[in-house]
Structure 1
């Protein structure tokens, strides 16, 4: 609707129309809650034993995104050179978003590190994860959701929202979370995750602590 209002303004300024049909119309933005996975749902997916390697790999990459917040294309492009030791002497994921062009700096937690270790030195071109095409990934994620009994559509968007919930409930500032998700406007994450800001200490806040990614 905002797009059409801009068109009308241009048309009026150029004399193509004489009156603004939206003059007395006020746009109201409805807040919509974004889905995310709970601690139990993540645990179920993490520990599920799959009969095929393709599902296991897609699951690993999805869980990696849940704990890093990286978009599909950024996970696909991730190389060893993006894993660096930062000022705190800990490993971080550093790079620039393919679509946003915004730099990201994300601490490498234990579970995603275990996933990287699992595929270490097994891939060409310095890549760190065996990422398939977006279409195949989404198709296999749907299959994984059914197998695991998760009544939510598993997507990389869901993984990113899960990461936002994870970090916000851990007490990470909304400014830091916004930067890790490559948002240039803090209002974006505030609108999407306003209901999570008071959940600190709950849900999936302790999932990465003292957890093993061993699902053999």
Structure 2
């Protein structure tokens, strides 16, 4: 095995590449301030590869752990929460396959594993599990291990959604407008910042974490634009990287939303000043008592609002994004524009996820269809 180091770019940062005995790259990373930092990580990885991947009797979990240490853990572009999800899938592999050697796993054994996964995971989660294992096997092959690819031809099971699609969003434009009016009646910064945040999400379509991470510096009231480039994990109270590169984007602010935000800023500044409380990240939805709401507390508030309005819907905070997207589509906003506003790279996910039509628009289209076939 061997390691190469390079110093590149305007900032003169260091990178490394670890090669196996066949001369193929098995690990790499970049952005180190000194060669010593790069060397320490590269040598640790080289040691793990030498002591793990070359073993012909390695278990699937042992190989997964090496892959995680080499390819996932050092990746500075992945959020901590994302790495935790990889770790959770790794734990599932460890539990199911226990000490089973890679060479002993057959197609039928693996298909049974996928079937078992589908009992507790939705289909997309099962697909991610299968994708991880495929990448583990690809790495093992590059390192010279010989085995049968038991993932080839596997069938992915699982429900498409954990909730019924219609439970994820408000069902009508009327409900949407009623909720917005109700939230305005609850605006009271001294009691809670949650109605302001919920109103903001319903008016922008931002992800919950994106809304929580919004600072006053991200809002340009003159240009009527907001900017999002990160997320905030409410339960962990920490900032995370954006979900995808296209998640970094500008989005429009309506006039009435700007009025609400300007009023919020005035009272927030006054309350924090009077109490000598710091808002270190200059966050818009900063509660003077608790900081940023947790995801659990925020979802409880949403449920409370829906019960008060007698709206039969089981949506969580994610439903604000679904409702906003559906509303735009129902009002004839171009699907490409909706994709841009929501931070999707193409329209496929928009149509798959948000393509349901709100009640009033559906009734309008039904009537238009009747008139057409009457001719």
Same fold (TM over 0.5): yes
- Secondary structure, aligned partner of 1:64: helix
Unaligned 5+ runs, structure 1: 203-216
Residues 148 and 18 from structure 1, CA distance in 2 versus in 1: closer, same or farther, beyond 3 angstroms? Answer: closer
**Contact map agreement 1:67 1:111 (CA 8 A) in 2:** no
- Give the paired residue count: 197
2:225 match:
92
CA distance in 2, matches of 1:133, 1:30: 27
**What is the Cα deviation at residue 179 of structure 1?**
2.0
- Secondary structure, aligned partner of 2:193: helix
CA distance in 1, matches of 2:159, 2:336: 22
Matched, 1:70 2:220: no
Matched, 1:58 2:203: no
The structure whose Rg is larger is 2
- CA offsets per residue over residues 55-86 of structure 1, 9 Å max, x none? 7632232121011011122211212221126x
CA distance in 2, matches of 1:30, 1:66: 25
Residues 132 and 4 from structure 1, CA distance in 2 versus in 1: closer, same or farther, beyond 3 angstroms? Answer: closer
Residues 155 and 26 from structure 1, CA distance in 2 versus in 1: closer, same or farther, beyond 3 angstroms? Answer: closer
**What is the Cα deviation at residue 164 of structure 1?**
0.5
Residues 19 and 138 from structure 1, CA distance in 2 versus in 1: closer, same or farther, beyond 3 angstroms? Answer: closer
- Secondary structure, aligned partner of 1:93: strand
**Contact map agreement 2:213 2:283 (CA 8 A) in 1:** yes
**Contact map agreement 1:70 1:160 (CA 8 A) in 2:** yes
More helix by share: 2
Unaligned 5+ runs, structure 2: 1-125, 232-241, 270-278, 287-291, 365-375
Higher relative contact order, chain-length normalized (CA < 8 Å, sep 6+): 1
**Contact map agreement 2:187 2:196 (CA 8 A) in 1:** no
Residues 195 and 45 from structure 1, CA distance in 2 versus in 1: closer, same or farther, beyond 3 angstroms? Answer: closer
**What is the Cα deviation at residue 139 of structure 1?**
1.7
CA distance in 2, matches of 1:187, 1:16: 37
The normalised TM-score by structure 1 is 0.70
The normalised TM-score by structure 2 is 0.44
**What is the Cα deviation at residue 18 of structure 1?**
7.1
**Contact map agreement 2:298 2:317 (CA 8 A) in 1:** no
1:16 match:
147
Deviates more, 1:118-127 or 1:155-164: 118-127
- Secondary structure, aligned partner of 1:132: coil
**Contact map agreement 2:249 2:343 (CA 8 A) in 1:** yes
2:251 match:
106
Match of 2:343 among 170, 182, 198: 182
